[in-house]
Amino acid sequence: MASPNGGDDFESSLLSFEKLDRASPDLWPEQLPGVSEFAASFKNPITNSPPKWMAELESEDIEMLKELGSLTTANLMEKVKGLQNLAYQLGLEESREMTRGKFLNILERPKK
């Protein structure tokens, strides 16, 4: 809306014609390292070779990824808690076995 005392001139004086060079990594650094490379990998979805991270996966690994990807957030959290409990139980069992080995002197180095 133009004002009778030159409001259009004021608005045009606020315009900036500065050119920003977005190609410079110093002016526009990548905020999250690796994101540009990751995004570039999806630009050409029709490729014959799988991504680098999938090259060493076996079919069982891919099936597990699909299974985990299909879980709801609550089910995924339950799965993570189960893995944490399993790791804790394995730690306790290892501790018991190390103590047992110490008492039986099977971990002692042979004397020369």
Q: Does 6 map to a domain?
A: no
Instruction: Centre a 10 Å sphere on the Cβ of residue 59 and count the other Cβ atoms it contains.
Output: 7
Dihedral of CA 20/26/29/34: which sign? positive
**What pLDDT shows up at residue 101?**
87
Q: Does 22 map to a domain?
A: no
Q: Does 46 map to a domain?
A: yes
Domains: count for the chain: 1
Q: Does 95 map to a domain?
A: yes
Q: Does 41 map to a domain?
A: yes
Q: Does 52 map to a domain?
A: yes
**What pLDDT shows up at residue 12?**
79
Tell me, rounded to whole angstroms, the distance of Cα 55 from its chain centroid: 18
Mean pLDDT of the region 103-107: 82
**What pLDDT shows up at residue 88?**
97
Q: Does 93 map to a domain?
A: yes
Alpha-carbon distance 83 to 77, whole Å?
10
Tell me, rounded to whole angstroms, the distance of Cα 4 from its chain centroid: 58
What is the residue range of 40's domain? 34-111
CB 86 within 8 A of CB 94: no
Identify the band that residue 25 occupies on the pLDDT scale cut at 50, 70 and 90. Answer: low
Q: Does 67 map to a domain?
A: yes
